[in-house]
Amino acid sequence: MDFGGVAGPLIGLVLLCIGFALASEYFLSVRNALNILDQVTVLGILAIGMTMVIVIGGIDLSVGSVLALSMMMMGWLAKTAGLPLPVAMILGVATGAACGLVSGLLVTLARLPPFIATLAVMSVTRGLANILTDGRQIVGYPDWFTNLATIRHLGFFSVTVTVFVVLMVIAGVFLRYRATGRNLFAIGGNPEVARLAGIDVRRYTILTYVAAGALAGVAAVTMAARLNSSQPSAGLGIELDTIAAVVIGGASLAGGVGSVAGTLIGVLIIGVLRNGLNLVGVSPFFQMVVIGSVIALAVAFDTLGRHRK
């Protein structure tokens, strides 16, 4: 991944780390750094899919609810339907992909604005997540499953963090070096020009939403391993953090601009902010004010930058 085009967010991340290191003696430690990585894994996996969606000029408000439905589907299939947990995990990811397919079809075939299409999917999937078990959580996964998120191999990375890093690298290479990935930027820049250039805009749009949904399914499995449970309330509000991470990392909500490297920095900024504010004893409610202010500043800089151009 190339970090050359995201100097601003990277400087911001470094300054945040310096500030919190001065404010708390516990911040600058290997253990805390690993904790931050564990804490941002779910957000980071969701942000990969959101990066691709925003690059094509779309938005996906449903990722948090799709995560919840995928998590509940996995739990229901394993605990109620009696399927082996590995099969249930795969079907949970497939559930996320199916939700992404619905969003993509609503955007392309029904011609709904992405905001409205994914808002509708967000409502439906959250409702289905609660209907599956009448709002009850599913608990009691086997030890090998929870160990995926709790045991650090070689003293550093858990399996879930490793999956996150591998997905980041694959997505970064795909967007930067593959023609298919570059086509997403062309669609975000100008869909009509992309269509005239021979790019199947409808197919790419659908597949992008499917990929985002599948990644929400992967994030659901990761969160279930961390919590040792499936909860229908999981992922409430995480779509806002996901969009914030992508925008803070330099992506443009107008489409055509973005990078996985920038998104990674945006994810780490949000993770460092939450972790550091917790360490210095800042109220969770005030943390919401801080995160919201950072989002507003990031979008303002994006808008001003586009106006200058």
Is residue 24 a part of any domain in this protein? no
20: in domain = no
Length of the chain: 309
14, part of any domain = no
Q: Is residue 142 part of a domain?
A: yes
Q: Which residue has the tokens 């920038």?
A: 262
What is the span of the domain harbouring residue 222? 29-277+284-308
Q: Residue 46: give its domain's CATH number.
A: 1.10.3470
Q: Is residue 136 part of a domain?
A: yes
Pull the structure tokens for residue 105.
């079809």
- What does the pLDDT read at residue 294? 77
Q: How many domains does the chain have?
A: 1
Query: Domain for residue 37, yes or no?
Result: yes
Residue 228 lies in a domain: yes
Per-position pLDDT tens, the chain of length 309? 555 457 778 888 999 999 999 998 899 899 999 999 999 999 999 999 999 999 999 999 999 999 999 999 999 999 999 999 999 999 999 999 999 999 999 999 999 999 999 999 999 999 999 999 999 999 989 999 999 999 988 777 899 999 999 999 999 999 999 999 999 999 999 999 999 999 999 999 999 999 999 999 999 999 999 999 999 999 998 998 999 899 989 898 889 999 999 999 999 999 999 999 999 988 888 888 887 887 777 777 766 765 665
What's the pLDDT score for residue 74? 97
Q: Is residue 1 part of a domain?
A: no
Per-residue pLDDT at 203: 97
